[in-house]
Amino acid sequence: MDEPASRQRPSNVLSRAARRELGKAFRKDCPRASHADVVLGQGPRDPVGLIELSNGDRVKHLLPLRFGRMSESAFAFFRGTANVQAHDLKGTPFSGIIVQCCGDCHLMNFGGFATPERKQAFDINDFDETFPAPFEWDVKRLAASFVVAARWLEFDPTECRAAALALVGAYHEYIIRYADLHTLDIWYSQITSEALLQQFENDEEFRQRLAKAMEKASRNTSERVFNKLASEEGGRVRIVDEPPLLFHVDTSQFDLERELIPFFESYRETLPADRQALYDRFQLTDFAHKVVGVGSVGTRCFIALFMADDDDPLFLQVKQARASVLEGLAGPPRWASNGERVVAGQRLMQSATDIFLGWASGANGRDFYVRQLRDMKVSADLTGYTPRLLSYYANVCGQVLARAHAKAGQGATIAGYLGDGTSFDDAIAQYAVSYADQTERDFASFQSAIQSGQIRTDTMPAPAEQILR
């Protein structure tokens, strides 16, 4: 007897074995060794022009700060030029496997944070550019970031290549492991700080760095930093200004009742019912502009202070969500807003997401996403890293990216494409070295633009007179 239609397997659901075979078949049109190629032939390529193109709708007076941070090194430049590599990736060989990608997958966009249970997990922690795209785009950007960082640390060429190989080798190993797991096992999997300490128990130096980072993260919560970030002023608790990176917006430029309150009401509707009940215990107290990151400098970023009692704070970060650098390169958007795109991508890829993660659009039509500002977050400090330590860190990032791609649903297909050999690993390592060369040439062009006055740099911009509009 035939099964009822409601109980039949959907026609688009393939077994793990079938998905592996599908991935294997993709090798015919896109050999794994072809990923070594750095293709820059998709029309005129002007790195400085591409950077300037990415400045649309950024706060103009903050651009010199953005460029100043990018000018510090080729590594800092790489972090601020996700759109340049996205432009270049469009011309590279395409595996045929589309997955939810991070979009700006470099080594500084990985780190520790709190799960909903306030346990420490390690994962990708930046999804501003997340978008469906070829899985290898994330792998290539991440591998290139390790080579650029290794050169910044003054490692020799063999050590730089070894870091990239450690990254892709771990990704390869763990994507195959995840491909053998049941779907729900992948979805529930996490890479916790405790698991990392156990994994590297035979290397005391790396363990000590991890333990130090964990301890730092445990102090990075709304409650622990309240007295540092806020103080009582005129009977009201306010965020403490630290210009030029943290300052209050001129309230004459926007209306609190007309813009802020409706914004947070709209944001509240994107939270699950239980999180809405939690959020409702807090009241908005203050709101200020905060400059963050390298690639994000110039976008509209704020922190909002909420209070449930005199000593019961919650800091939320409100961050502008612009179009992904992959949009138009990897297909049209699938979401009503870029804030929703960021949140959906983060929830799909991350092992656990912030309990206050949500989105809303401002009265001016700009999209934003919201999350906790202090959520036990911590990122790697590469100062003093040796080649061995960087390779260990690359191994961890490779595990994390494999878990994220597998959770997004393409683990078995990617595993079938990669196979058991090292063709893909070697090709990505070669790509990473070659693209690091390209990054250094682009950085030289960027420095020339600074010297000629085409691009102005600054490290201490004046506070904005107009942020929201």
Q: Note the pLDDT tens digit of each residue in 130-140.
A: 999 999 999 99
Residues 214 and 294 occupy one common structural domain: no
Domain boundary among 334, 352, 372: 372
* Residue 154, C-beta contacts closer than 8 angstroms, at least 6 positions apart: none
**Into how many domains does the chain fold?**
2
Asked if residue 143 belongs to a domain, the reply is yes
Band of residue 380 on the pLDDT scale cut at 50, 70, 90 = confident
Range of the domain at 237: 222-372
Which has more confidence, 250 or 411?
A: 411
Residues 345 and 322 occupy one common structural domain: yes
Band of residue 298 on the pLDDT scale cut at 50, 70, 90 = low
HSE-CB of 83 using CA atoms within 13 angstroms = 21
Tell me the mean pLDDT in the region 11-15: 74
Residues 201 and 234 occupy one common structural domain: no
Q: What is the mean pLDDT of the chain?
A: 89
pLDDT (tens digit, 9 = 90+) per residue, 231-270? 888 778 899 988 878 888 765 555 556 678 899 999 999 9
Instruction: State whether residue 445 is helix, strand or coil.
Output: helix
pLDDT higher than 80, residue 458: no
Residues 368 and 391 occupy one common structural domain: no
Q: Work out the percent of the chain whose per-residue pLDDT is above 90.
A: 62
Residues 209 and 306 occupy one common structural domain: no
- Determine whether 177 is exposed, middle or buried from the number of CB atoms within 10 Å of its CB (0-12, 13-18, 19+): middle
Asked if residue 439 belongs to a domain, the reply is yes
Tell me the mean pLDDT in the region 152-168: 98
Q: What local confidence, expressed as pLDDT, does residue 77 receive?
A: 97
pLDDT (tens digit, 9 = 90+) per residue, 59-110? 787 888 889 999 999 999 999 999 999 999 988 999 999 999 999 999 999 9
Residue 194: enclosing H or E segment and its boundaries? helix 193-199
pLDDT higher than 80, residue 297: no
Residues 340 and 261 occupy one common structural domain: yes
Q: What local confidence, expressed as pLDDT, does residue 465 receive?
A: 42
Residues 59 and 195 occupy one common structural domain: yes
pLDDT higher than 50, residue 468: no
Residues 191 and 274 occupy one common structural domain: no
**41 - beta bridge partners?**
none
Tell me the mean pLDDT in the region 190-219: 84
Q: What local confidence, expressed as pLDDT, does residue 59 receive?
A: 79
Contact 142, 163 (CB under 8 A): no
Residues 306 and 388 occupy one common structural domain: no
Length of the chain: 469
Asked if residue 25 belongs to a domain, the reply is yes
Contact 345, 100 (CB under 8 A): yes
* Residue 315, C-beta contacts closer than 8 angstroms, at least 6 positions apart: 222, 225, 229, 303, 304, 305, 306, 372, 373, 374
Residues 432 and 352 occupy one common structural domain: no
Q: What local confidence, expressed as pLDDT, does residue 54 receive?
A: 86
Residues 319 and 385 occupy one common structural domain: no
Q: What local confidence, expressed as pLDDT, does residue 467 receive?
A: 41
Q: What local confidence, expressed as pLDDT, does residue 459 receive?
A: 58
